[in-house]
Structure 1
Amino acid sequence: MATETRENWGSRVGFILAAIGSAVGLGNIWRFPGVAYENGGGAFLVPYLVALTTAGIPLLIMEFTIGRRYRGSAPVAYRRMNRNAEVIGWWQVAISMIIAVYYAAIIAWAGWYGFYSISQQWGADPNAFLMGDFLQASDGFGDFGTWLPGIGLAMVVVWGFTLLVIGAGIKKGIETTSKIFIPLLLVMFAVMVVQALTLDGAVEGLNAFFTPDWEAVREPGVWLAAYGQIFFSLSVGFGIMVTYASYLKRKSDITTSAFTVGFANSSFEILAGIGVFAALGFIAFESGVPIADQAYAGVGLAFVAFPTIINTLPYMAGLFGVLFFASLVVAGWTSMVSIVQVPVAAMEDRFGWGRKKATLILGGFMTVVSVALLPTASGLMFLDVTDYFINQYGIAVAAPVSIAVVVWVMWRWKALRDDANATSTIKIGPIWFVCLGVITPVALAGILFFNICDLVTADADSSLYTYNQYQAFGWSLALGALAFGVIMALVLRRREVPEIESEEDVEIREEATR
């Protein structure tokens, strides 16, 4: 049987920056500040850091080790562990494809809003502009007839740059852009935060964000929120980190990389919370509207609250807006590159396609679907429903399943632990098994249970999607991703994967490339 020669990252720094670029996404900027504020303010940092060290980093170590040890995209890596586990990899591929379809739309919106910031084109009522002039949002779910050329063309540009980078390869494409755009993101966002801190009312905003409510720490829901935030912000559970780690060299330090990525992601989230609530404190100062009554998370924060803030800034309003929305674009785009890389790598590894062929065919298909559905009057509703169901009932199920299969069914945690320790400065012991095999699955199961309870008990006027058409569509996506994984695994069951290069061959090849 033929052996597989796999491209490697050019440097450890390149891999870490790419992994950070994947982890630091839109959710860091518009989800974490609101989650922290609603769950105890400064006190939330306690369960948040506990969740990072007992779930986020252990899961990163597992996925990094699986990728490096089995040197393949998610379907191939799980197949090399066990023939019956390939379904998990294809399940994760389907989830990544669905996310990529709608992720491009948000990046395109942020790009347009960065341009609008220069002259505050959204006018005096940002909410009316967003829902009316910009999105032309429909109350219905099937209005895909009105296509919005401005958003559509921006999405084509987003997809074009994404596929261009992926087509260029790991070292020349993803690594090179990560080395440029991740430092750029940090600089832009830091400048924006510094400007926000100089505004009137910034201190009151920070007090609202950081003042601890220690009673909240006693609530189980706060701890579940902390685990959920860590889990959804680290890009774990849907094949990204397994795929990225499959391009690592054999002697790469696994655990130190996991700690670096985990803490870098959390540091950016806290920085985002500082910037967002300093700005919200300013708008509370100017308008007299309490922070608790403002939009401090999600689409409302980015495309309504921040334009409102920009409208009332006393100086350099255009610069503030450009920096904020450019940060959204860069954070979202680096994450999107990693998301699209998952299915592209799977097609390369499992069907023997070249990188350019896989990028062109698969990327072209996702581009067409994305550009056809999202820039329409029903695009926002499509995005909301898809994001909710694919995250809460797709990723949140696939991740604990992968952990249970790897740790408990196949009992591979010892082999993975030894593999990681062989080349890592920070050694992991039995506590890693406890965190990965017990704490993380229990936390994820709790999150899933309460999500289902919320969906079942929500009334028709709530923000959850209880109407039949939304439920049917959402569940069809979540269950369809699993069905795709099962079908692909069955179809390819008799098709063997190439053998992994021997240690000697890898060392000879890596020495030749130094």
Structure 2
Amino acid sequence: MEEKRELWSSRKGFIYAAVGAAIGLGNLWRFPFQAYKNGGGAFFLPYIVALFTCGIPLMILEYQLGRKVRGGSTKAFRMLGKRYEWLGWLQVMIPIVVMMFYCTIISVAVVFMVWSLGHAFGVVNWMSDPGKLMEIIVGNANGPFDFSAGISGYMLSFILIVWFSNWIIVKKGISSGIEKCSKIFTPLLMVLMLIFMINSLRLKGAVIGLNALFTPDFEKILNPSIWVAAYAQVFFSTTLAVGVMIAYGSYVPKKWDVVNSSFITVLANASFDIISGITVFSTLGYLVNSMGVEFNSFGSGAGIAFIAFPIAISAITANQFLQGIIGFIFFFCLFIAGLSSSISMLESFATGALDKFKISRERLVGVISLIGLVGSAAFSTYAGFNYILDIVDSHVGNYIIATLGLVETVLVCRYYGIEKIREEANEYSDFEIGRWFDILLKYVTPTILGITVITNLIKGIQNLTLGNLVFGWGTILLMVICATLFYRRAWEMERGELK
């Protein structure tokens, strides 16, 4: 079977692709503010514990599961029992939904790239007050149902570039598309972020931001919500339980080391989290020092990247050309971070579908890209970007991802055997994992994920609104319906049949 399936041509290319899948726009804002609002330096202890008790073990599990079944999530769950294939389809529905609004955010980065070039050549002068540009791009709405507010022509135009990029890369396959691009994108992204981190540390007032980020508040460390937030961040950041890493693992040659690769993937992503935290808070420290504003003046989401950073860049130098070029490089960096994640999401569904149906990769990726483009257009409306995006993001992230991570762990332990996963992973490893792996995935990880799922569900019920019901739970219902339809279709590919 293995010789019929395309494989990664180099371990370096596989690592770059996996790290690129894990690293995304969320690293640049989510981790810094999760740390800031959850006890600063005290957050790092639960975060590190979460990396080693959940992130690395689950990464090993997903890589090895994908390699074993030579298939994506749908085939992997089918191996555990035919009735569980449905869960695999629900898992690969997550990246499709996330891509729709994620690509809309990436399109904003592309707009800022273009405007940065305009700034460099004196066509526009906007960096000292980027809020006006952001307001022009995303507009305003009075709520999630305010469909008459309009649609953003800027986002609608530039999502075409984003989806075209996704289509071009993924349709070429693993070694010719994703691997080649990842060898360029991932190292470039890391180099660019290191440069920005070093520069941010030079800004006057950077120490104010670093103190806010790293000063520990150990009174908060006993708060269970801090630990739930840390585990949620690891899941969010490493792209686990959404089918991506199982799909990537399915293209790993039999004799490659997945244990070491898992450690590299998770720790490289964690390093990027920390680099992002230093960069963001050093920059915000500069703004607090120079403008006399609070840390939360720029929000806790994408507003940091699209509002705070242009202001900081304009303060680095008075030369308008250099301001524009630095801005272009920074937003190009955001574009790369988003694109490397979005192509992995597209591949997650593509792998699952190609395992089951007789359809060419080019045609499948083309169809998904068209559907995704329509979805992104919906999020390009003013109501969609300002309200519906946050609702869908929180519901998919808080309820589906953690729940499927819990179910995946329990089913693998029960029907495949976590000891068997460990033995198979150790067979070609540079170093072996011990029985701690079994204990973590049998007891620790399910317990923590169970607490996370229950906590999120209670919060969701307490904060239930009409918008959450329609767009949040409505999206989840639509995912369930689509997963059921794909599940009920007969297997067309011989390699998909698992006895």
Counterpart for residue 403 of structure 1: 409
Check the 8 A contact 2:167/2:365 in 1, yes or no. Answer: yes
Alignment partner of 1:164 is 2:163: no
Q: Which amino acid aligns with 1:72?
A: G
What is aligned with 2:19? 20
CA separation in 1, counterparts of 2:155 and 2:484?
Answer: 35
Partner of 1:321: 327
Alpha-carbon separation, structure 2, partners of 1:389 and 1:87: 20
> Where in structure 2 are the equivalents of 1:21-420 lying within 5 Å?
21-118=20-117, 119=119, 121-122=125-126, 125-131=129-135, 133-144=136-147, 146-291=150-295, 293-295=296-298, 297-315=300-318, 316-371=322-377, 373-380=378-385, 381-408=387-414, 410-420=415-425
How many angstroms does 1:384 deviate by? Answer: 1.4
Q: State how far apart, in whole Å, the 1-side matches of 2:492 and 2:45 are.
A: 48
Q: In the TM superposition, what is the alpha-carbon distance from 1:324 to its structure 2 partner?
A: 2.7
**TM-score w.r.t. length of structure 1:** 0.90
Q: CA deviation at 1:272?
A: 0.5
**3-state SS of the aligned residue for 1:200?**
coil
- The DSSP-based 3-state class of the residue aligned with 2:160 is helix
**Unaligned stretches of 5+ residues in structure 1:** 459-465, 502-514
Distance 1:13 1:451 in 2: 37
CA contact (8 A) 1:76 1:497 kept: no
* Worse-superposed segment, 446-455 or 35-44: 446-455
Query: How many angstroms does 1:302 deviate by?
Result: 1.8
Moved more, 4-13 or 276-285: 4-13
* Cα distance change of structure 1 residues 421 and 309 upon mapping to structure 2, 3 Å threshold: same
Q: Distance in 2 between matches of 1:468 and 1:128?
A: 31
Rounded to whole Å, the distance in 2 between the matches of 1:26 and 1:36 is: 16
C-alpha distance after superposition, 1:144-186 (max 9, x if no partner): 5633332112101110011111111100100000000111101
Unaligned runs of at least 5 residues, structure 2: none
* Same amino acid, percent of matched pairs: 35
Give yes or no for contact 1:20–1:265 (8 Å, CA) kept in 2.
yes
C-alpha contact 1:70 1:246 (8 A) present in aligned 2: yes
Q: Is the contact between residue 357 and residue 493 of structure 2 (CA under 8 Å) also seen in structure 1? A: no
Q: Is the 8 A contact 2:409 2:441 kept in 1?
A: yes
Moved more, 222-231 or 143-152: 143-152
Query: Structure 1 residue 336: deviation in Å?
Result: 0.1
Q: Which whole-Å CA distance do the structure 2 matches of 1:222 and 1:143 have between them? A: 35
Q: Which amino acid aligns with 1:349?
A: D
Compared CA separation, residues 497 and 217, structure 1 to 2 (3 A): farther
What is the alpha-carbon distance in structure 1 between the residues aligned to residue 151 and residue 304 of structure 2? 25
Residue of structure 1 aligned with 2:495, choices 494, 498, 506: 498
In structure 1, the residue matched to 2:486 is: 488
Aligned match for 1:425, one of 430, 433, 441: 430
Whether contact under 8 Å (2:357, 2:492) holds in the other structure is: no
* Cα distance in 2 between the residues matched to 1:93 and 1:302: 29
CA RMSD of superposed structures (Å):
2.2
Distance in 1 of aligned mates of 2:89 and 2:289:
50
Q: Distance in 1 between matches of 2:48 and 2:142?
A: 40
Query: Do the aligned residues in 1 keep the contact of 2:5 with 2:251 (CA within 8 Å)?
Result: yes
2-side partners of 1:469 and 1:15: how far apart?
Answer: 40
- Do the aligned partners of 1:97 and 1:340 also contact (CA within 8 Å) in 2? yes
Matches of 1:499 and 1:444 in 2, distance apart? 30
Whole-angstrom CA distance in 1 between matches of 2:88 and 2:496? 18
Q: Partners of 2:443 and 2:180 in 1: how far apart?
A: 38
Q: Tell me, yes or no, if the aligned pair for 2:127 and 2:311 is still in contact at 8 Å.
A: no
Q: Distance in 1 between matches of 2:153 and 2:228?
A: 41
- The residue matched to 1:37 in structure 2 has which SS? helix
Alignment partners' CA distance in 2, 1:207 and 1:362? 45
Q: The residue matched to 1:423 in structure 2 has which SS?
A: coil
- Per-residue deviation, residues 180-224 of structure 1 (Å, max 9, x unmatched): 011110111111112211111012211211112222222211111
One-letter amino acid of the counterpart of residue 406, structure 2 = P
Residue 496 of structure 1: CA displacement? Answer: 7.0
Deviation track 1:364-384 (CA, whole Å, cap 9, x = no partner) reads 22223323x122222212211
Larger deviation, residues 360-369 vs 90-99? 360-369
TM-score for both structures, normalised by structure 2: 0.92
- SS of the aligned residue for 1:7 comes to coil
